[in-house]
Amino acid sequence: MTLFPTDFLWGGATAANQYEGGALEGGKGLSICDVLTGGSLTKKRKLTWKNPQSGETGYADLAPRKPLVLPEGAVPAVLENEYYPSHKAVDFYHHYKEDIALAAEMGFKAFRMSVNWARIFPNGDDAMPNEEGLQFYDDVFDELKKYNIEPLVTMSHYEIPLNLVLNYGGWKNRKLIDFFENYARVLFTRYKGKVKYWLTFNEIDNIKGYPLICAGVPEYSEQAIAQAAHNMFVASAKAVKLKNEIDPDMMVGQMLAYMPIYPISCNPKDQLLVLEKERDALFFSDVQVGGYYPNYKLKEYERKGITLETGKDDFYLLREYPCEFIGFSCYKSMVVSSEDPEKRNLKNPYLKESEWGWAIDPDCLRLTLNTLYDRYHKPLWIVENGLGAEDQLVDGKVHDSYRISYLRDSVKSISDAIHLDGVEVMGLTVWGWIDIVSAGTGEMKKRYGLVYVDLDDEGHGTCKRYRKDSFYWYQNVILSNGENLG
Ligand code: BG6
């Protein structure tokens, strides 16, 4: 029995700031991620700054749910002699032909990547796009086409031109709606016929914890976050409207970070907390996919005195131009307790954890797929899932049975959602199908790839690519359309 549809889009996912490199080449401007240092589990990533008057330089913390605090007169800046993982990343910029050939060898049907906004509009507010940047992505899309691989393109994946942060305060400024609309128009017009699937903002719901990285908003206030999210919703709706005008065959999706949340006990208070925490993510799809602000959020804004600056067409746009599919990332599940509602990472005694403390939950994809499908009845695409682990390269080989086991459970979970529950699933793009820089920690050591890249946390190494055991495993999965799970 065939469990997966014949047009199921198997593939892998990446993001420009973690993969592409060439950050200072081809006329690209600086993005917010280009001023972030590397790090590790124990040494947190920092943002570097400079005071242009005094020449003083330094490092600022990037803690979740905290504002970015810089000394008077200091601005985020690239410092000499500092290592920035996004600048070279794993150098897709110069290896795209080789990498796409590897993806094709595995049998990929889809290749998720992001366009770096600052490669197209170096300052975000430029009148004209950067032709060299446009040409680079043309070359990449042409290369994918050679192998019949569909690009799935995120328009902003944890990067935003630095100028839009410094001079506009990021997405809390409504001017960004116009800049993004212009960017979307350029992308859709230029890549019409080459790119069918688009995602607007990566993991938009993470704005609550990371407003700077998600939306270029340096302060931490619920008012600023609500406004930034609203502006992004309107920009997303405008992108859907635009693609209808430019190429109705394209599909624009939402991209949500989602994880199932379990109550620590059957105490009803714990279940109420689950409801609340789930809404932290679902609010974003309620608006971007459902097309309206849900009452629970309006009530919350009322209670907190949050008011939105809106345009006269905003709510009409949200209603008329919702996203057409939901792309989501899902790596783990979470446990909450009403005794300590803010505490994350409570241990689940039924699950093992990755070396980075992420719960390995074989059922999290089926649960997520059902939750989202029951609520929206729109097609779903698992655009990120995978296991970050430390790999050993020995004699050119990596025996990553732990990754195969994780991914096997994921494929089974998706298959159950399709054939037991009838969920409409478009595809799976395994996260970091080739080793890339970790977004959270800024290190290379946390590897998700089915292909190993010889680079360390400081960017030293040959950059050579090696096929891991999981490469061959996934190749068989794709070849058998999910029947042969090894
Ligand atoms: C998602 C992001 O949150 O998780 C990716 O969209 C990120 O950019 C991925 O890389 C895995 O997280 P990390 O911190 O292990 O890289």
pLDDT digits (tens, 9 = 90+) for 138-175: 999 999 999 999 999 999 999 999 999 999 999 999 99
Residues 278 and 289: their CA atoms lie apart, in Å, by 16
Say how far apart CA 187 and CA 97 lie, in whole Å.
21
Cβ neighbours around 54 below 10 Å, total: 11
Mutate to test the pocket of ligand 1, among 157, 438, 447 (most ligand atoms within 8 A of CB): 438
The shares of helix, strand and coil residues in the chain, as percent rounded to the nearest 5, are 40, 15, 45
All structural domains of the chain with their residue ranges? 9-32+86-479
Q: What is the pLDDT of residues 323-368, one digit of tens each?
A: 999 999 999 999 999 999 988 779 999 999 999 999 999 999 999 9
Spatial contact of 475 and 70, defined as CB atoms under 8 Å apart: no
Q: Is 384 in the pocket of ligand 1 (CB under 6 A)?
A: yes
CA 310 to CA 321: how far, in whole Å?
Answer: 17
pLDDT (tens digit, 0 to 9) for every residue of the chain, 486 residues total? 558 999 999 999 999 999 999 999 999 999 999 999 999 988 999 999 999 999 999 999 999 999 999 999 999 999 999 999 999 999 999 999 999 999 999 999 999 999 999 999 999 999 999 999 999 999 999 999 999 999 999 999 999 999 999 999 999 999 999 999 999 999 999 999 999 999 999 999 999 999 999 999 999 999 999 999 999 999 999 999 999 999 999 999 999 999 999 999 999 999 999 999 999 999 999 999 999 999 999 999 999 999 999 999 999 999 999 999 999 999 999 999 999 998 877 999 999 999 999 999 999 999 999 999 999 999 999 999 999 999 999 999 999 999 999 999 999 999 999 999 999 999 999 999 999 999 999 999 999 999 999 999 999 999 999 999 999 999 999 999 999 999
Least Cα distance to 375 among 297, 298, 295, 287 occurs for 287
Is position 384 annotated as part of the catalytic site? yes
* Ligand 1 atom 5: residue of nearest CA: 439
Structure tokens at 443: 């290190």
Establish whether 132 is a catalytic residue: no
Contact 200, 239 (CB under 8 A): yes
pTM above 0.85, yes or no: yes
> Tokens for 482?
């999910």
Q: Please tell me the distance from the alpha carbon of residue 389 to that of residue 438, in angstroms, as a whole number.
A: 11
Q: What is the DSSP letter of 142?
A: H
Contact call for residues 17 and 157 (beta carbons, < 8 A): yes
DSSP code for 162: H
Q: How far does residue 410's CA lie from ligand 1's centre (Å)?
A: 17
| Residue 283 DSSP label | H
Ligand 1 proximity of 439 Cβ (cutoff 6 Å): yes
Q: Does domain 9-32+86-479 have CATH number 3.20.20.80?
A: yes
